[in-house]
Amino acid sequence: MDETLKKGSVTPLSCMFPVDEAQKAAKRVEDSITEKQKELGSLKDFISDNTSLINLVTELPDELHHDIMVPFGKAAFFPGRLIHTNEFMVLLGEGYYAERTCKQTIEILKRRGKALDSQVESLQANLKDLRAEALFFNATASESAEGLVEIREDYVDENGGQTGQKSGTEDEQVTVEDDEYARIMSRLDELEKEELAAEDESQSDEDEHANTVDSHDASEKEKQSGAGDSNSNIQTSSEMWELEHQLKQGYPTTRVLSNKDSNKPNLTEQLSSSGLEVGPIPKDENYATQNVVSLPHQKDLLLPKVGEEVKEVSLSRKEAFTGSILERSDEMPSNAQMQKQTLQTPLEASKPRFDSSKAFTGSIVERTTNVQTDPIAGSSKLSTAQPSRPVSRFKQQRR
Amino acid sequence: MASSTTIRELQRDLENKANDLSKLQKDIAKNHQVRKKYTIQLGENELVLKELDLLSEGANVYKLIGPVLVKQDLAEANANVRKRIDYISAELKRLDATVRDLEEKQNSKRDAVLKLQQRIQSLQAGKAKA
């Protein structure tokens, strides 16, 4: 599990957006929504008033005079008669009045109605925005209340780092990509057979099997402590050059150094783990996608998403698979190397990058040469407890 | 014991700053309200100007002054409204400037308050450790 910690971070959503804060924000937005709605209501009232006024004004000049009750003070009315039914004193606003006829008044009122309409429109657009905002805040609040977590992970260009990962949704994922799984398994079985055959040829393979049970953490350390005794200088300088070149293609230089020194145990680890427990592969895919995947408590919520990812990745894997085999079959001197190569590829292929697998060929080449010369390598692996040594080991090897 | 007195001083300082901050915030809110009022007036005046422009030359225009309607020349009314619009726009600009100023002040105050809080916290933490 500590691998996961190393590789990425799991942050509860409630950490970044505290529940009460999100709720507060949601409440504020709701308040502004109700305010705007009130405004909208009053505008609608204005519009209806305006239309009724227009109706009244159109009817008034129909008669020469109207009998009406004239308001007198607050409470009293007295009967009166409305004359000059075609003359209006229209308030234009700001205390300005204009004398207008019925038709002119109606025109003014209609213009006013248009202005009101445009105001309503803008208000409605505003309300729509606010509603979307409120929806978002509410969703965030409920999510953080449910205890959603955000998983953020850096893209690490390394096989070994992935094998040890465990994810909560492992079971589901495996069933989801049953076909894929079966395919990989059969392929791996084939390769295992080849490997067994190759074992007779080179002692190096014994080391691999001896180490299969080791945890991945050990291999990480071994990278540094490395195959200390195994660097007898059998390699010709030209070989070294080639290696360096290949490695540099895919790896940052620091990686190159550490790989060169120690890749033997490291690789065996990786190989064995990839060969013997295929389970991790689907997990890897989940992580390799690298997106921020939020894992709700209910795993099944995640399932459809995972399925999609798996499909995507499997496509790219197929490409990478064939590609790498073709590419490398001529490069590889021994059978055993071949299998390792192919064993690596499924893992590698789960990542979209190609050159990373290229970099691995380089390290593999070196590994065999090292191992054959050195039978003690196994013991060096077991002494993983050594504290990490500086990378300058590479230089020692050169001496 | 010296640390406790400094903490007390810092806390008093913090209180003062917080009061200032809330005062600033009140000012800003007030400013916003005034601004809203002016925008509404501006809209109304523009409406009036539009209507006045549409009026024909000989139309009678009155201005309500107190309880009486005073007859006004159309051109005069037009000029008055224009002047008023200019005045309101200038006022709005001024308000904008003051709001910006106040907000800047508010931000700096907030920073100061935050810094003070952190200092107090660190002091208290140090005390707890000791």
Question: How close, in Å, is residue A111 to chain B by CA atoms?
Answer: 9
The answer to whether residue B75 neighbours chain A at the CB level (below 8 Å) is no
> Above 70 in pLDDT, residue A105?
yes
For residues A288 and A351, is the Cβ–Cβ distance under 8 A?
Answer: yes
How many interchain CB pairs under 8 A, A with B? 53
Contact list in B for residue A107 (CB cut-off 8 A) is 54
Residue A395 confidence (pLDDT): 54
> Above 60 in pLDDT, residue A150?
yes
Contact list in A for residue B32 (CB cut-off 8 A) is none
Give A324's contacts (C-beta < 8 A, 6+ positions apart). A341, A342, A345, A348, A349, A357
> Above 60 in pLDDT, residue A41?
yes
Whole-number average pLDDT of chain A: 64
Partner residue facing B51 (CB), from A89, A99, A108? A108
- How much of chain A exceeds pLDDT 90, in percent? 25
Which neighbouring-strand residues pair with B53?
none
Q: In whole angstroms, how far apart are CA A38 and each of A31, A118, A127, B10, B79? A: 11, 17, 11, 46, 36
How much is the average pLDDT of A284-288?
Answer: 42
Residue A242 confidence (pLDDT): 56
How much is the average pLDDT of B114-120?
Answer: 89
Please tell me the distance from the alpha carbon of residue A100 to that of residue A86, in angstroms, as a whole number. Answer: 8
In terms of average pLDDT, the best of A87-101, A142-156, A359-373, B85-99 is B85-99
| Of A66-80, A138-152, A268-282, minimum mean pLDDT range | A268-282
Question: How close, in Å, is residue A356 to chain B by CA atoms?
Answer: 46
pLDDT in tens, B25-72: 999 999 999 999 999 999 999 999 999 998 888 889 999 999 999 999
C-beta atoms of A92 and B63 within 8 A? no
Question: How close, in Å, is residue A45 to chain B by CA atoms?
Answer: 18
Partner residue facing B63 (CB), from A95, A107, A112? A95
CA A184 to chain centre: 26
Chain A residues contacting B via beta carbons under 8 Å: 89, 91-100, 107-108, 111-112, 115
How much is the average pLDDT of A80-88?
Answer: 91
C-beta atoms of A96 and B44 within 8 A? no
Is the full-model pTM beyond 0.90?
A: no
In terms of average pLDDT, the best of A129-133, A148-152, A257-261, A323-327 is A129-133
Chain B residue with minimal CA distance to A113? B47
Contact list in B for residue A96 (CB cut-off 8 A) is 48, 52, 61-64, 72, 77, 81
Between A159 and A129, the higher pLDDT residue = A129
> Above 80 in pLDDT, residue A265?
no
Q: At residue A60, what is the residue type?
A: L
- Residue A273 pLDDT grade (very low, low, confident, very high; cuts 50, 70, 90): very low
C-beta atoms of A94 and B51 within 8 A? no
Of the candidates B4, B14, B8, B19, which has an alpha carbon nearest to the alpha carbon of residue B106? B19
